Each structure stands twice: as C-alpha cells, then as structure tokens.
Amino acid sequence: VGLIESVELHPEAERLYVEKVNCGEGRTRTIVSGLVKYYQPEELLGKKVLIVSNLAPANLRGVESEGMLLAVERKKKLEILTVEDAQPGTRIFLEGAEDATPAEQISIDRFLEAKISVEENEAQIEGKKLTVDGNIIRTQNITRGKVR
C-alpha cells in the first residue's frame, strides 16, 4: 500500500503523471503512470493505492519509475485500486496466505503473466482474492475487469 503524496505531469509525456508515493518506513518511490486521461491530479492526491513494489525500475520517457499503481480496466473505464483503511507499507496477500517473505524483483513481462482481475468488485489472482489486513480488496465502481 502506498500513499500518493504528489502528482505532476511528466515533463516529456503529456499522457503520463509522475507520482511520489509514500511506501511506509520512510521510503518514498517515484512512480510513472498513464492515468492522465482518467484522473485529475487532485483526485489522486492523498489516495492509498495498491502498488507493485517489486518491479525492476524502468526508465519511462526520461523518468525512472520504481513501481506501478494498480488499476482495473473495463470498457475504456479505469479505476485505481484503493485501500483507504490500510497504512502505507502494508503488504497485500492472497486470501489464506500469510507469507511475509519479501517478493523477489521481477520484470514487467513476468508481472503481466499474472492473471490479476476484478470479479464482483473483488480483486483476485486466478480466483484467489487479494487481501489487506485480512480484508478483501474491493473496487467501488468497476465490478469486473482486468487489473493492470
């Protein structure tokens, strides 16, 4: 879980934002996201969001991105996955799993192999629900779609 502390337009790409995300324990990450056509900066600021923190850093149009904000997409609509009751740095688990071992760093290609989706407003990977602090992560508006 990360808390979005700042949102700016990317200096070299009009469709990208550069966010500073507090990931707990004094760690702030820079994340580049393609959310410009879906959200105004003030709609993102202060949100507690799901992030993929074990992605290998990637240079996106001259800015190093240290992770990825997760969002569900369906029929050209997009909704970021938020968890307002969790603290920055809280880890996400698959329902029934409580493995606290940090995940290894992975490539974006390996991440995209995971079949993360939302079904009936519940975030899941191949049918196993994603949880934070024992609670299933739910969307507000999009009931079904692919998480990216």
Span 99-109, pLDDT tens digits: 666 678 888 88
* pLDDT (tens digit per residue) in 18-58: 999 999 989 999 999 999 999 999 999 999 999 998 899 99
- Tokens representing residue 130 in the block: 């994603």
From residue 119, give the alpha-carbon distance in Å to each of 66, 132, 141, 146, 147.
Answer: 28, 17, 12, 9, 10
Higher pLDDT, 126 or 17: 17
CB 67 within 8 A of CB 55: yes
Mean pLDDT, the chain, integer: 93
Q: Which residue has the tokens 């779609």?
A: 145
Q: Which of 87, 102, 71 is closest to 25 using CA atoms?
A: 87
CB atoms within 10 A of CB 120: 9
**Is the model's pLDDT at 80 over the cut of 80?**
yes
> What pTM was estimated for this model as a whole?
0.92
